[in-house]
Amino acid sequence: MLKLRTKSITTQIVIVTVCLALVPIVLLGWLANKQKIHETSASELLHIQTVLQNITSKASFEIDRQKTIIKTLANTPVLISSIEKKLNENQDLLTFLSFYKNTYNYKNIYIFTDQKIIFLKTSMEDTFGNSNLEEAFLSKLVEKTFFQKSPQVSDLIKIDSTDRYSAFITSPIFKNEKILGVIVARLDE
């Protein structure tokens, strides 16, 4: 028969003591690693938040810039006089608006009269794929501009069957504190 050797009681106590001493060290190492991962996650989250704030700031600046451009365009004498004289066939006005359209990369510029009907648009081929939706959306935005008597910016609108979006920026056209119409610029991404 085989004789089983057993370790002495002293050896067994030493082994148990060493194992018990290793448990806190392993636990502390695991906790330190978990803390490091948490700190890294917090740092990454802070970086993402900073990037998003920068993007928001730049977008806000661009929207303010576009509002200023449209407001300036709305107060030009050639536009005001053309609306007053109901010269929607005015080639000078169309050339003037087309210059702005091309300079600022607008998809289209619309002019609405005080009766909220389209007076002029620089491009007849402007659609989202659903002209009823576009017309209803523009009508609501123009109505809001007339009511609030201040520039407005639309939400982003998805263009049908594409991954692209558009937005509209409006401004009332004033003469002697009276609204003659509304100018609307369509911006595509």
Model confidence at 88, pLDDT cuts 50, 70, 90, reads low
Q: Cα(61)–Cα(86) distance, rounded to whole angstroms? A: 35
Please enumerate in sequence order all residues whose Cβ is within 8 A of that of 175, keeping only pairs 6 or more positions apart, or say none: 80, 84
pLDDT at 185: 84
CATH number of 63-188: 3.30.450.20
Mean model confidence pLDDT for the chain? 78
- Token pair for residue 20? 């018990």
Looking at the whole model, is its pTM more than 0.85? no
Task: Report whether pLDDT(15) > 50.
Answer: yes
Amino acid at 181: G
What is the arithmetic mean of pLDDT over 89-106?
Answer: 81
What is the arithmetic mean of pLDDT over 84-111?
Answer: 79
Task: Report whether pLDDT(47) > 70.
Answer: yes
Least confident of 66-70, 125-129, 167-171, 172-176: 125-129
Question: Domain ranges in the chain?
Answer: 63-188
